[in-house]
Structure 1
Amino acid sequence: MILQLWKYHKFSILYATACFLFYWSFAYQLERTDFIKMFGLWAGLFLFTYKIIKINPNNIKFLAGLALVFRILFLFAIPNLSQDFYRFIWDGRMLLEGFNPYLSLPENWISQGNPPIAQAQELYNGMGTLNGSHFTNYPPVSQFCYLIAAIFGSSNIWGSAIVLRLLIILSDVGTFFVGRKLLQRLAIPEKNIFWYLLNPFIIIELTGNLHFEAVMIFFIVWSLYLLQKGYWYWAAIALALSVSVKLIPLLFLPLFFQNFIVGQDGLTITQRFLKLVGFYSIVMITTILLFAPFLSSEFISNFSKTIGLWFQNFEFNASIYYVIRWIGYETIGWNIIGTVGKILPLVTITILLLLTFFRKNKELVQLITVMMIAICSYYFLSTTVHPWYIAVPLILCVFTKYKFPIWWSFIIICSYTAYIDPDFKENLWFVALEYITVFGIFIFEVLKNTSRVSLKSIYS
């Protein structure tokens, strides 16, 4: 039996074994300053994963099993590409001790010498002075997850990290089951879900580095599945939960307009409008209720101040903004982020409105496609694009004809060249390579899909 298994599945076994060894090295042996090794492991994992999916497109159990095993492999690892999890643990332990994490700064507790949580100095050193000098901006569902980690690991960083990772793995398990059902209902090949679940970028950035985009994505996919089934009120609650993990799904709210107003057959325009208003109302009320335990004037001030920093102070792995910044240096002579950071969000809002009213998105696949284009437009115009942000367009693309986010998930490794320099300095040549690749594939796919639509309309 073993010989038969080897005879018919030897390449799958070899590729899976190679992935296992590469993930082990990534999780337990890699230093983020060693970019050459990082890129070698990264490229190998993408190649082997591509081969595994291509050889086993219909072997759902095998692919799902591998996705779970590769995640469990990271279970006892401390993240080596991101420091954010130290802040997650800090916030969770503050909550456990009865303190509102939105109202105080880690650096103040450390300077006063009386932090109320265990391992405070170690957590502060881990998160870094930049993170420790700003108020937390993680919404309440994320904070609840951090609280769970604090309950089971109140005095052990390693134990807290394990709990956080288990929550992320459970979220990906949920995404598998719900995403697979949604693909079935949309008559899209089920194997597409593995371009997300087996993607090395997702396994390393979310499971490995403990970024809670995985939890947010589960709620987004669940919301879309519920919407497809006609349970729009439950879909609204699921979408509100995703917003309460990370705020980014707020971008999607305008895009549901056509799905309710144009895509609801058999209803009067008044009934459609009332459903739309009901959907938006449930999303907003649920979100407010989730934030309610933390609400105060001081919370609103601190939270909005921290959000504003992302647009007007921070710069990392940007595309269009870096071009604008260069023009600013050449013409004015200084960094114009303070001005551009206020204008670019307005441009994003304009694009959202254009996508809402002037592009067909009444069907669910059309809606998901517009959601993907909208969030990519937002990132193309952002001043800061951390690698794990790409997880959202990646999951959305598996339900569409577009695959450029898969390529982006590979080439995003270029952003980690910043860690080669001890002082964390970006290599803009690698940033340019990343976005030239992404924009090139994106434009090609837009032209290809547009031409298909044009030919279909001519011959129909």
Structure 2
Amino acid sequence: MAALSLLFYWVFAYDLIRTDYIKLVTLYTALFFFFYKLIHLLKHDVKTLSYLAFIFRAVFILAIPNLSQDFYRFIWDGRMILEGYNPYLYTVESFIDQGHSPVTQTQELYNGMGALNASHFTNYPPINQLCFVIAGVFAGKSILGSVMIMRLLIIAADFGTLHFGKKLLEKLGLPTYIIFWYLLNPFIIIELTGNLHFEGVMICFLIWSLYWLYIGKWPWAAVVLALSVSVKLIPLIFLPLFFQWFIKNRSDKQSQKKSDGLPHHNVNGIQNRASKGFMKLIGFYAIIGFTSLLLFSPFYSSEFINNYSKTVALWFQNFEFNASLYYIAREIGYLFRGYNEIEVIGKIIPIVVILFVLSITFFRKNKTPVQLITAMLIVLSFYYFTATTIHPWYIATLLILSVFTKYKFPLIWSFVIILSYLAYINLNKADKSENLWIIALEYIFVYGVFFWEVFKKKSSQKGSFNKTINSVF
């Protein structure tokens, strides 16, 4: 099975065209089956699973990504910085229109990324840009060379996720082999290593931060969490959830005794603990904010703020892809207005998400590590369920969080997400819109498992962690 997996990954990397949908789905399904069986058979041999995870990644070293074209923009941004330009202040199209070529292979990069990508300002945070710069330093005149450097950085981040993920699982008393539901998953290998999406680097910093938070080194946890934010902005959604970790976690047990006639000096002790927890929380947020601002400072200007905010807003009010609840809301909106529903719904979604995050922050127990990580999983899932755009690689963060919880619907989603590549099966026909039947099929599986886990498994959650995992299959 390992040998067949190696062969299928090679075919996926070097002999697959994105529009060959039958081959795409067949290869992915076979790889997913082998992935599940290998973990089942080798769960007591973590060393072999580790070797396999990185051997499979090594297959892609010389491959140009075939399911995504974002990497062309990555290369462009890195070379722009090396030429002394601020990538947040210029679109690629502006240079093409002027006939000016600030970087080598301008036309190849422009053709590769496409007109849509080239017309927008970059939205990749500074640590992500640093990765692009490293690729430019070592391979400034070769697209394949730049791809190889970026791929090595993503693989190195996976080593970090393996290291800190295993240590965190050990601290939580969970079997360490379950980290391979993430690391050996074909979805992760193909989307991150293969297609060069830097969620893997963000995830490495996120898990590192959670580990340091668990062992009490919260200032360092804050610094590393800021690094995670500076790769992808998505960890910002988790910040309110740390409230109970720092404050309620320290005072709830003692305050519970207050009704039993707690002496006055002990009441003062509870208040002091809560006060110290609050100060640590403020310090935690301050370190994250300061570190993030420090990382963004080399690119700061009034134009940067304007351009960056506009680019981020595009994901709420301009782009539509592989959505679920949004598509339902859009169809309902068509009955009343009949046009441009994203402009209306896109403004409502951030408000709804913020209210949901605050409700989870204050009305759900998030005091233990598993409770905190579960809250992160719930919050991010809600955001993705309501979002207007869900690219396949977004699911990577849900998948790593699920490793530390009893929920496994992200594992199912990592399998059926391949259907999103079939959404534009009509691309060469007159109707170029998404095939909503395919999108519906994807989310039937996702929501089916999600609601089953939330509502149907409560009575059986007293079983072992391994039974919880196996029951999904």
1:170 to 156, 170, 173: 156
Alpha-carbon contact 1:137-1:307 (below 8 Å) kept: yes
CA deviations over 1:215-261 (Å, ceiling 9, x no partner): 00000000000001100000001110000000000000000100111
State the distance in 2 between where 1:330 and 1:414 align: 28
1:427 to 423, 435, 455: 435
1:443 to 451, 454, 462: 451
Alpha-carbon contact 1:33-1:419 (below 8 Å) kept: no
- Which residue is 1:5 aligned to? none
The answer for unaligned runs of 5 or more in structure 1 is 1-14, 456-460
2:123 to 137, 145, 155: 137
State the distance in 1 between where 2:218 and 2:282 align: 11
State the distance in 2 between where 1:29 and 1:176 align: 29
Give the length in aligned residue pairs. Answer: 441
Q: Does 1:185 align with 2:190?
A: no
1:275 to 255, 280, 288: 280
2:102 to 98, 105, 116: 116
Question: Shift of residue 138 of structure 1?
Answer: 0.2
Percent of pairs with identical residues: 60
Question: Shift of residue 328 of structure 1?
Answer: 1.5
- Which residue is 1:383 aligned to? 388
State the distance in 2 between where 1:453 and 1:407 align: 19
1:313 to 301, 318, 322: 318
SS of corresponding position for 1:80: coil
Alpha-carbon contact 1:34-1:420 (below 8 Å) kept: no
Root-mean-square deviation (Å): 1.3
State the distance in 2 between where 1:397 and 1:274 align: 30
- Which residue is 2:236 aligned to? 250
Counterpart amino acid of 1:438?
A: V
State the distance in 2 between where 1:394 and 1:338 align: 30
Q: Does 1:88 align with 2:74?
A: yes
Q: Does 1:395 align with 2:400?
A: yes
State the distance in 2 between where 1:425 and 1:60 align: 45
- Which residue is 2:468 aligned to? none
State the distance in 1 between where 2:411 and 2:12 align: 20
Q: How does 1:159-308 map to 2 (within 5 A)?
A: 159-264=145-250, 268-308=273-313
State the distance in 1 between where 2:154 and 2:213 align: 24
Query: TM-score scaled by structure 1?
Result: 0.94
- Which residue is 1:6 aligned to? none
Counterpart amino acid of 2:440?
A: A
State the distance in 2 between where 1:453 and 1:157 align: 50
Alpha-carbon contact 1:415-1:426 (below 8 Å) kept: no
- Which residue is 1:7 aligned to? none
Question: Shift of residue 451 of structure 1?
Answer: 3.5
Q: Does 1:340 align with 2:348?
A: no
State the distance in 2 between where 1:157 and 1:129 align: 19
Q: Does 1:369 align with 2:374?
A: yes
Alpha-carbon contact 2:135-2:146 (below 8 Å) kept: yes
State the distance in 1 between where 2:102 and 2:336 align: 50
1:413 to 404, 415, 418: 418
CA deviations over 1:134-157 (Å, ceiling 9, x no partner): 000000000000000000111100
Counterpart amino acid of 1:280?
A: Y
- Which residue is 1:458 aligned to? none
- Which residue is 1:324 aligned to? 329
State the distance in 2 between where 1:454 and 1:335 align: 48
Query: TM-score scaled by structure 2?
Result: 0.92
Question: Shift of residue 437 of structure 1?
Answer: 1.0
The answer for unaligned runs of 5 or more in structure 2 is 252-269, 464-473
SS of corresponding position for 1:138: coil
Question: Shift of residue 454 of structure 1?
Answer: 9.8
